Amino acid sequence: MKEKYKNPHPVFSPEWYEATFQCLEHCHQQIFYEIRNRWWSIIDSVLEVGCGTFDFYPTAFAEKDYTGCDINPNVIAYCKKNYDAKFPHHLWKNRSICDFPDESFDFVYSHAVIDHAKDPIKFIDDCLRVAKRLTYIVSYRGFFPDMNEHRQEKAEDGFFYNDISVRRVIRQLTGRADVFWFDILPLHTARPPIEIQHETVIKILKRDQKQG
C-alpha cells in the first residue's frame, strides 16, 4: 500500500486555511512573483500538493492547467463546490502525491506539507517523480542550514512535525541524473521577532530528457 501523507489539521475550517495563508502572505507573494517572472514560459500544467481551501494559487495559476490535490476529502469537496464555476478548467483530486503518474505535471508546488510527512526524503522523491520540469517545496517551520539530518517529532496529536535539514536535502539531490539544477534558500516571513523568521524554499529544475 502506498504511503499517505497526513494533513495535520484535517478538521479545520476554510476560515483556518485563509488565516494561515494571511500569516504568510508575504512569502506566498514572493514565491509566486519569482515563478511568474522566471519560470512562466516553461509551465503549462501545475499540481499543488496539499492545496487546502484558499484560492490564492488557483487564481494565480488561472491561465494554466491547475490541479489541486489534498488527502482531506472535505477540502476537495469544498473546492469543487465553491470553485468549479469560477475555475471550470481546474481539477481537484482527493489524492496523495504518491498516487500521481511519473512526469504528469510541468510544475509541482507544495507549501507546508513536507513539514508533516512521515518520510520527508520520500516526499521530495515523489514530487520530483511527478514533476516534468520544475518543483518548489516550501517548509514553513524555519531554515536549518547546519543540521545534518531532518529532525522529526511525532506529537501527542499523532502527526509528524519536521524541521528540514538543508544539508540532508543537498545530499539527496546532488548527483541525481534527473536534476539539472537546484537551490535551497531561506525566505523571510516578515513575522514578529518571537515567531518563525524564515521558511525553507527548495527549488529543483529537472534535466530535459530530450537534451540529456
pLDDT score recorded for residue 7: 47
Of 18, 33, 19, 105, the residue nearest 69 (C-alpha): 105
**So where are the chain's domains?**
14-206
146 CB neighbour count, 10 Å cutoff: 7
Distance separating alpha carbons of residues 100 and 96, to the nearest angstrom: 8
pLDDT score recorded for residue 158: 83
pLDDT score recorded for residue 208: 82
Q: Which residues on adjacent β-strands are paired with residue 162? A: 152
Of 87, 88, 82, the residue nearest 52 (C-alpha): 82
Q: Is residue 168's pLDDT more than 50? A: yes
- Exposed e or buried b per residue across 93-103, where buried means at least 16 C-beta atoms within 10 angstroms of its C-beta: bbbbbbebeeb
pLDDT score recorded for residue 140: 95
Of 38, 29, 39, 99, the residue nearest 60 (C-alpha): 29
Q: Which residues on adjacent β-strands are paired with residue 41? A: none
Q: Which residues on adjacent β-strands are paired with residue 194? A: none
pLDDT, mean over the chain: 92
Q: Specify the CATH superfamily of domain 14-206.
A: Vaccinia Virus protein VP39 (3.40.50.150)
pLDDT score recorded for residue 86: 96
Question: Sign of torsion, CA 107 148 188 5?
Answer: positive
Q: Is residue 2's pLDDT more than 90? A: no
User: Where does the pLDDT of residue 3 fall: very low under 50, low under 70, confident under 90, or very high at 90 and above?
Assistant: very low
pLDDT score recorded for residue 157: 79
Distance separating alpha carbons of residues 47 and 101, to the nearest angstrom: 12
- Mean pLDDT for 22-49 is 97
